[in-house]
Structure 1
Amino acid sequence: MVFSSITFIFYFLPITILLYYTVPKKARNGLLLLVSLIFYGFGEPIYITMMILSILIDYTNGLLIEKFRENKMLTRLFLILSIALNLGLLGFFKYGDFFLTNMNAVFGWEIPLLRVALPVGISFFTFQTMSYSIDVYRGNTKAQKNLITFGAYVSMFPQLIAGPIVIYKDVEKQLMNREITESTLREGIERFILGLGKKVLLANSIGLLWEEVRSLPVGDLSFVTAWLGVAAFIFQIYFDFSGYSDMAIGLGKIFGFDFLENFNYPLTSQSITEFWRRWHMSLGSWFREYVYIPLGGNRKGKVKTLRNIAIVWLLTGFWHGAAWNYLLWGAVFAVVLLFEKTFLLELLSKTNSAVRRFYTLTILGLSFAVFALEDLSHLFGYLKAMLFQNAFSDSLFPFYTSRYSLLFLLLAVASTPYPYRTYRRLKMKKGSHVIFAALEGVLFILCLAYIVDGAYNPFLYFRF
């Protein structure tokens, strides 16, 4: 079930809100756990068992770590057990066939593939449960003794499928006691509608162009059309994923939670280092706190700092998918970030903002082409077109630009903070609430019209 579906908007969400605001406060976590499991099992009910197993593993390990805290060897054993079981689940479902396929190819083996369906959102909730066990082990948080409350944290449907990754210690107090006011409810509804608009009206619309361009024979692909296609993909994945995050944050507010932001206008960045401070911030924060810093961060000399950056980015690439292009994508960013760390940022600081933005967008274009195309032969052919190996232009480019130029302009403006700042400033004016409520209603109706009519309605980060 996706947020931009009729089933969710007209059935699941209204019924859930009605029940949530009707039951006693003490029963809300139990209700949230129940509806989240129903939400998760809507497509593949068999994986509800896996979700419950994941909850039980880390709930039990958290209690054991806290109970035997004075015994360092035993608590370390329980932590290792938690991490191993979580990574085991993730590895089996997400990476099993990748390793088997490559071992068969390298050694000439004929080991049958697992061919198991990937549980949606597994990369997100396994990271959440691992971070919980690690934080209990470190003493950064107390173990949650109520199984229902812990289950509600792990399975919470607003951020279950595609984040943001919510760290337990950030919502611990809200799990125990949360107040919902008219103001937070209104903010939640507004944020959900804005996110729905970003996903349905913007991401889906420009995604159609990317689907057309990627289906073209790479030998016939011109330089300008290849770059136009990648620009479309970058806008699509940004508005798709940030729109989902907005909807998740909005839903969180409706149910009394305050999730951290996941995007901060990353396409305005002037370096790749800055981009990754603004893009998918919950993932970057997770890797920084639970991988980069434990490896030594930047505290053990330049060589180990560069090593740690490389490790984190190879893992980041692999987290996104079990395919060579994702590892290559992580490696590309590792190399660029290493260059920026050692000398490139200093060079960029001596140039003007236009040069820095051009550099950043060029690197993003090349790297997101790697991200988008899993077939390596297709990818390398596409990259050749982006690097002047084919004709400069073709007959399709003027057709695409005439058809999508206004949408590109809208996307470019919408990817900056100015529209939202203007929106917030105008909302502060007296009597504006009625006008903006009407505009948000119109936006919601437009989204529904698109959902009803449009067959193209993917969520790109569901596969991760």
Structure 2
Amino acid sequence: MLFASPTFLFVFLPLCLAAYFAGPSVKARNAILLAASLVFYGWGEPVYVLLMAGMTLVNYAAALAIDARDGAARQRALALAAGINLLALAVFKYAGFIALTLGLPVPRIPLPLGISFFTFHCLSYLIDTYRRRFPANRDVTQVALYIALFPQLIAGPIVRYKTIAKRLAVRRHSLGRASAGMRIFIIGLAQKLLIADPIAPLADAVFDHAKAPGLIEAWLGAGAYALQIYFDFAGYSTMAIGLGVIFGFTLPRNFRTPYASASITEFWRRWHISLSTWFRDYLYIPLGGNRGPAWKTWRNLIVVFLLCGLWHGAAWTFVLWGAWHGVFLVLERAGLGRVLSRLPRPVGWAYALAAVTLGWVLFRSPDMGRVLDLWTGMAGLRGLGGLQAATHAALQPLHLWLLPLAGALAVFGLPGGLRRLRGLAWADAAVIALLLALCLLKVAWGAYSPFLYFRF
């Protein structure tokens, strides 16, 4: 089920809210929200609800087993439980990729929605239980709700158990909090429907149809995709955070104007924050982090970002995308970062934006042949070039103001004047009402698409 679909907006969400707030206690509301989350997840693929339920029971029991042991027995319990989670991820997400790489027959295994996200939820719960950050929860409904909570189930943000542990038992609700949560949700919906979706055809035209694009066309397509993926993913995260507020949870912020970064190091402090901090805490630091000689730090960065790329998708283009970012992080750690810090910030910003945009070509392209084709155009080796038929057809008058506006919002956020305007209740309500009306019109026309991160 999609947040931007009529089924969700006009049927599921109103019924879920009515049932939830009719619940007489937190325990009853947890059960209602868990049932709603399973319906949400199973709407298109009911069979995978069984997978979700099975993984929940395994991790619930595993955390109890880890908590009851010490020493080597505790380590073995964690290793076994983590291995089960990673095996499930490997079978459903990477079996075809591994078989193709080894030249074996490729199995046809559909990818369950959100498996990368809820697997990381399970792993963080187990590891933090092992580290004695908190005792294992003995209420299976609370553990199941943490794993399956529908706002963040499909595409994040990745939520640590500790972040919402208290709210699983005690939550406060008010009309003000519900209003604030709905406002946040509408802003995220607008990012998706009013910015990401209208830009998407332009990116698709260049990546999927343009033959041997020139300088202008290649950069136009890559730039359009950079804006599409940001507003699509940030929009989903914003919607998830807003829904969390309505239901009494505080989900972590996932983006902080990442395209304003002046280095790749800074970019990863601002982009998909819940994922980058997950890899930092559960992989980079256990590998040694930045302790020890420089070469070990560089090795750790490369390992982390190779796995970060692989987490995003079972294809060599994703692995190379991770390596691309890892190499830039190593270069900045080795001295480039000090050079950038001495230069005017616009120089660092131009460098980071170019590196990230070139990296998005790896992320979006179906194979390396297409990557090299687009990079050749972006390097100007074919000259300026003109817009081919598919790109020309996709480039609408709307883009002439939407692309620059979206770019400015992605880099600078809301201008100061608009932020001050938001302090006026009537103006804020008017803007939100307008955004909601425009979004509902798009939904009514059927002009929406799945979120990009549903595939990961």
| TM-score under structure 1 length normalisation | 0.94
Contact 2:312 2:318 in 1 (8 A): yes
Amino acid at match of 2:157: P
Secondary structure of the 2:287 match is: coil
Which residue pairs with 2:45 in the alignment? Answer: 44
Report how far residue 405 of structure 1 moved: 2.3
Separation in 1, partners of 2:113, 2:200: 21
Which residue pairs with 1:107 in the alignment? Answer: none
CA distance change for structure 1 residues 323 and 437 in 2, over 3 Å: closer, same or farther? same
Separation in 1, partners of 2:439, 2:352: 32
CA distance change for structure 1 residues 424 and 19 in 2, over 3 Å: closer, same or farther? farther
Separation in 1, partners of 2:447, 2:162: 40
| Pairs within 5 Å for 1:127-142 | 127-142=120-135
Task: Pick the aligned partner of 2:420 from 417, 420, 425.
Answer: 425
Contact 1:218 1:382 in 2 (8 A): no
Task: Pick the aligned partner of 2:285 from 273, 293, 297.
Answer: 293
Deviations 1:310-359 (A, max 9, x none): 11000000000000100010011111110011111111122112211111
Contact 1:218 1:378 in 2 (8 A): no
Q: Does 1:434 align with 2:422?
A: no
Amino acid at match of 2:20: Y
Separation in 1, partners of 2:173, 2:418: 24
Which residue pairs with 2:366 in the alignment? Answer: 374
| Pairs within 5 Å for 1:309-388 | 309-388=301-380
Which residue pairs with 2:54 in the alignment? Answer: 53
Which residue pairs with 1:83 in the alignment? Answer: 82
Task: Pick the aligned partner of 1:194 from 187, 190, 199.
Answer: 187
Report how far residue 393 of structure 1 moved: 2.6
Contact 2:217 2:387 in 1 (8 A): no
Secondary structure of the 2:249 match is: coil
Separation in 2, partners of 1:125, 1:421: 37
| Pairs within 5 Å for 1:234-245 | 234-245=226-237
Task: Pick the aligned partner of 1:222 from 214, 220, 227.
Answer: 214
CA distance change for structure 1 residues 252 and 420 in 2, over 3 Å: closer, same or farther? farther
RMSD: 1.6
Task: Pick the aligned partner of 1:155 from 148, 170, 178.
Answer: 148
Which residue pairs with 1:167 in the alignment? Answer: 160
Contact 1:93 1:117 in 2 (8 A): yes
Which residue pairs with 2:200 in the alignment? Answer: 207
Contact 2:442 2:448 in 1 (8 A): no
Separation in 2, partners of 1:275, 1:77: 37
Contact 2:421 2:427 in 1 (8 A): no
CA distance change for structure 1 residues 418 and 89 in 2, over 3 Å: closer, same or farther? closer
Contact 1:324 1:374 in 2 (8 A): no
Report how far residue 210 of structure 1 moved: 0.6
Q: Does 1:121 align with 2:111?
A: no
Deviations 1:166-208 (A, max 9, x none): 0001111111111012221111000000000000010001111
CA distance change for structure 1 residues 16 and 402 in 2, over 3 Å: closer, same or farther? closer
Separation in 2, partners of 1:292, 1:260: 20
Which residue pairs with 2:450 in the alignment? Answer: 458
Which residue pairs with 2:274 in the alignment? Answer: 282
Which residue pairs with 1:409 in the alignment? Answer: 404
Task: Pick the aligned partner of 1:389 from 375, 381, 387.
Answer: 381
Separation in 2, partners of 1:171, 1:2: 24
Separation in 2, partners of 1:402, 1:421: 28
Deviations 1:237-292 (A, max 9, x none): 00000000000000000000001100000011111110110000000010000000
Report how far residue 37 of structure 1 moved: 0.6
Contact 1:249 1:258 in 2 (8 A): yes
CA distance change for structure 1 residues 116 and 398 in 2, over 3 Å: closer, same or farther? closer
Which residue pairs with 1:108 in the alignment? Answer: none
After the TM superposition, which segments of 4 or more aligned residues of structure 1 sit over 3 Å from their partners? 395-403, 420-424
Report how far residue 422 of structure 1 moved: 4.2
Separation in 2, partners of 1:194, 1:185: 14
Amino acid at match of 1:96: A
Separation in 2, partners of 1:196, 1:413: 19
Secondary structure of the 2:450 match is: coil
Contact 1:252 1:258 in 2 (8 A): yes
- Range moving further from structure 2, 253-262 or 432-441: 432-441
Contact 2:309 2:318 in 1 (8 A): yes
Separation in 1, partners of 2:233, 2:273: 12
Deviations 1:29-55 (A, max 9, x none): 111111111110001000000000110
Secondary structure of the 2:253 match is: coil
Separation in 2, partners of 1:22, 1:268: 44
CA distance change for structure 1 residues 452 and 64 in 2, over 3 Å: closer, same or farther? same
Deviations 1:139-185 (A, max 9, x none): 01110000011101100000000000000011111111110122211
Separation in 1, partners of 2:348, 2:296: 28
Separation in 1, partners of 2:416, 2:248: 24
Contact 1:276 1:284 in 2 (8 A): yes
Amino acid at match of 2:107: L
Separation in 2, partners of 1:413, 1:144: 45
Number of aligned residues: 452
Contact 2:421 2:428 in 1 (8 A): no
Contact 2:193 2:448 in 1 (8 A): no
Amino acid at match of 2:18: L
Secondary structure of the 1:132 match is: helix
- Range moving further from structure 2, 131-140 or 404-413: 404-413
Report how far residue 440 of structure 1 moved: 1.2
Task: Pick the aligned partner of 1:269 from 261, 270, 275.
Answer: 261
Secondary structure of the 1:218 match is: coil
Q: Does 1:144 align with 2:137?
A: yes
Amino acid at match of 2:362: V
